[in-house]
Structure 1
Amino acid sequence: MPPRLAAVAALPRLGLRPLTPVPPDAPVSWVAVSELEDPTAYLEGGELLLTTGMRLTSDNAYDYVARLVRREVAGVGFGIGVVHDAVPPALVAAARTHGLALLEVPRATPFIAVGKAVSRMLAAEWYEDVTRAFQAQRALSRAALDGPAAVIVRLARELGGWALLLDTAGAVRHAEPASAASRAAALTPDLARLRPGPSTPAPSGAGARGRAVVGSLSLVDGDAHVVVQGIGLGDRPLGFLAVGTPAPLPHVAHTIVGAAAALLTLRSETPRSGRDLRAALAAVLLGLPAPDRAAPRFPATVLACADTGIVDALEADPLGDRCLALPRPGHVVVIAPASAARRVAALAGGPSGISEPAASAPDLAAALVQAERALAAARRTGEPLGYDELPGQGLLGVLDPHLARGFADALLAPLAAEPALLTSLRAYLASGGRLEEAARDLDVHRHTLRTRVRRVADLLDRDLDDPGVRAELWVALAVTDNATGPIGLTGASDQE
């Protein structure tokens, strides 16, 4: 807000003396100096006009003041001791008659001192507005992390009024305070002016209620000055933001409302970025061709990434539009185009397990097993590791599948009724018998895993500390986990 004339008049260093009442709320937009008999052509309104009365006489004082009042100047500062030793009585009388603030400027106060003082006050007001807008926008940004309702609550608090978030039909989605929801019905007729349409007429009486500009509407509704702004970037609003305050919003408040609308627009538009992804998923489920720029695209690779930060990394990378990420206990699973597997692993950083390429959606489940097994080995190296790089594949590849599966079924039969025991055994073997590591992979307490391992040993009647027993069990698990395909490597833990 511009500085008030009363505040300027009260500055001790200027020594200004009011000769007529000074309105307490009259703003000063600038300081102008003129000795013209009619300076109004060079004024915009709101100025404190300084003059020495060089062309002022008793005969023209009344008309001089009348012209300034019509131009809506804030007031007149009359410098004495140059042309006039005192302010002419005719000017004082005319100022009183027209209600114009008249200040006596002493000879010792140069006009430039008055100009500098107002300039400093304007700069301080501007800085205060910028600071307030910055602080409000920062508070709104923090609130946006908690959702649209939090933005509405914060906005109402910043403006000292009420705020509504309306859907496209004008129904209330969020209101602050809750009682403000009752105002929505009165606003509904005006929302049509913010919707596109070549033949959309303005509601009757619209000119009396307010005015519409691009994307926003200002009106007076009962005891409130209301601003309504469209939400969204498309041709049609995705909703509306309405705020109401007891007095018209100053410029800085409009900036704050604009920031809130931008944040709400961002939240409303963000889901659009996942449309291609959802369309691709639907295509896969229906057995239809997937869109060109979306995942999953086949051949696809499954990655198991130890660093859960991969989710944020994909959000910030264009590659994320073609990947699907699923958080799992202790790691994140990502379905990515096979050609981009190593790039995803690089984004993840640290250990990752990379499956062999999957040709179609039904192959992804087996690829997940491969990725999690590769991750178990990668945790020991701290680097990305492909399933085809795991040691032991050569040995498993030379086994006769029919004989190997018969051996595996017989060996693991005592555990068939308790899947948790098979899962625990697999994690225990993958960790090299390290309970702490295996329990972490399974997301269970180490005492729980220790109990399960003891039960496995009891049911199998085998010593799990024996390397030979572990090797047999390792082969058996690899065989049974690939019942319909080639024998592969076991060693990772399926998560419960």
Structure 2
Amino acid sequence: MTDPQPTLRALLARRDLDLRLASDEAALPADALDAPLRWVHSSDLADPTPFLADDLLLLTTGTQFASLSGIDGDSVEYSAYVARLRTRGVRGLGFGTEVVRDGIPPALAEACRDQGMPLFEVPYRTPFIALARANAEAIAAQAYARRTWALAAQRAISLAALRPDGLAATVAELARQLDAWVGLYDATGRPTHAAPDPAPDGAIADALAAEAGAVLRRGARAASTLEIAGHRVTLQTLGRGGHLRGLLAIVGAELDLEGRSVVTSVIAMAGLALEQNVGLDRARRALRTGLLHALLSNDPTLARRVSRELWGALPTAPVVVAVAVVAAARADAAADWLELRVAERRGALFYGRSSDGLVVVIPGGDGDTLPQLATLFNAAVGASDLTDYPAFSRAHTQAIAAARRAASGTVMPFADTTGGGVLAALDTLHARALADRRLAPLREHDDQHGTTLTATVRTWLEHDARIDEAAQALGVHRHTVRARIAQAQQLLAVDLTSFPARAELWAALVAAA
């Protein structure tokens, strides 16, 4: 992928410039002659650093030293001069000979050696502008070569995308063009295509998969560069924000402007290829929803016939019916993950969408699908008791009830929701709102008049509507309890001598607690 950058070594190699390296290359820093040069500039100022840029080659005739203490003067001046250049980021110093003196001043050569600054001689017959022009030509040539490479790479990748295995071929061609490892991950963070072999070692692969999964779970479009185990990694999501279709990972490539343009073209093509599947996915999910409605009618005949043709047989009874409540931004990714599980485990999983969430049907012995679904997508999952298909609707109702009690990222079996009895199901916002409205007359009277009608009614009901036991528990006379109950009946406009009325009032007290 890389082309030679304009460097001091490249200038020294040009015979038309006739430059001579005055430094001992072995004594220079490792990349001193091969670091890229942005420009070549000339100056005879004693301190040119305010007018210089980083990664620059400086040329001088030494006039500034002659005006100070003589061209062969104090070595301290030369040392300070070179130190300023080094601090500013100058990559090398060229001395034009036969202008002020023949050859390079020994004190300057010594200062450059001490500072690790490459020093070279520019003969009189070589004008400084020739070096600047040569470096500019090298920069232009490199830019042209990079643009040519980018166009050729994009063409090769476009041709690869036309192959039957378009995505896999695109990933392989991008890896070849970048001379790097490239991996494509689906919306769930699972690797689907990668090139070349061998893949990164286990530690890198695990860290990469974890990072890819974290980026995709956030659901927002993103591009990032990070380092994993000493390798430079570039990550780029595919698809729209809130509807990510996957992620592209590149390991071991330093991407310049042209390299990023090639990657951008791949992202566009891969994203388009994945988005083109949306219509098919929508039709598939609509069919699944229709089959789910058929199952809810407790007649699995149609669902069995269609499922067998498309995805394999329905899971063998007895089955568990589950409802997973997933945030909207993650719902598509969760459905994609379930679709992959269906393909991997033909006949061992069915799912569909309903207004209550994703409905999943698994065999009774499957102990990992629901926990993984809950963990990967922070879903609240409710699971029914074991059931046969003729009782599917009842199991679905159980799953909905359990899902409402489940915390995000957990699975709640319906059996675990029954410990509190039927009244425990009253712990909902709607039930509390109804209870608050039903008890409002008692509470308002208590607040305005300082009475304890609400507490008296609760105690009376707790003691099976027995006046004497309630009076003893409250520490008041039985006539007081009787009067308070009568007043509560009047405020609530209800006859508490009937069991249904007392049961409804008790349910309101439980829900409002």
TM-score, normalised to structure 1, is 0.49
